[in-house]
Amino acid sequence: MSLRGWIGRFWRDEDGTTIVEMAIVLPLFLVIFFAIIDFGRLWFHYVNVEKAVQIGARIAAVRPAACAGVPDFNVRAAVDGAAPARTGTECNAGQNICLAVPRITCNGSAENGTAAEIWDRINPVFPSNTTIGNLNFAYDYDPDLGFLGGPYVPVVTVEITNAEFEFLHPLAALIGLAGGGGSTVGGTVTFPDLSVSLPGEDLAQGVDG
């Protein structure tokens, strides 16, 4: 067979075209497939983190404060020239009845019993790189939630901040198999800060204010 005939036969021969097509299409398919899995994982973690923060706030509302400096009782506010309110007067009955406590905030710490209990309960649903330090607690004074001499009942807020989700890059494992290095993550995305606030609950008996 002449060279010209051989070249013509080569161009007309379709043997192996399926393999070539697969080699082109398969990587694209894998990228899309693993992207679907990754975004599914992202949504799964987001929904679970959102629910976990709700659970954390519910626990914090019925436990001792996770932050130092939160008072146990509503104490009397300073009064100038006016008769002091009687113990048992609701804090919202007028001005200068209960002492308004500034907002108290702190990060979660394993040394605090309430924070540790909350973290032990909710941490399984968080991304693996999240720690108890990503939990924030806040206690806000609300005059509608207490009375003079009674237990201090703040609005309790539990917030998760800077929680990061790691994407798994679909080509990282292929690079590792080819000797180009180990499998690596394909990037991270930071969840928006999620918080839940609830009025505290305290059935402790008050003291003389």
Q: What pLDDT is stored for residue 83 in this prediction? A: 72
Report for 22-26, 73-77, 118-122, 169-173: range of highest mean pLDDT: 118-122
Domain ranges of the chain: 3-199
Report for 45-54, 69-78, 93-102, 152-161: range of highest mean pLDDT: 152-161
Query: Which tokens go with 209?
Result: 């204010």
* CB-CB contact of 148 with 76 (8 Å): yes
Cα separation, 65 vs 154, in Å, equals 10
* CB-CB contact of 200 with 155 (8 Å): yes
Cα separation, 134 vs 118, in Å, equals 12
> Mean of the pLDDT values across residues 119-143?
91
> Mean of the pLDDT values across residues 138-157?
93
Give me the chain's average pLDDT, please: 79
pTM for the complete prediction?
Answer: 0.74
Q: What pLDDT is stored for residue 164 in this prediction? A: 81
Q: What pLDDT is stored for residue 43 in this prediction? A: 85
For the chain, the straight-line distance linking the first and the last C-alpha, in angstroms and rounded, comes to: 112
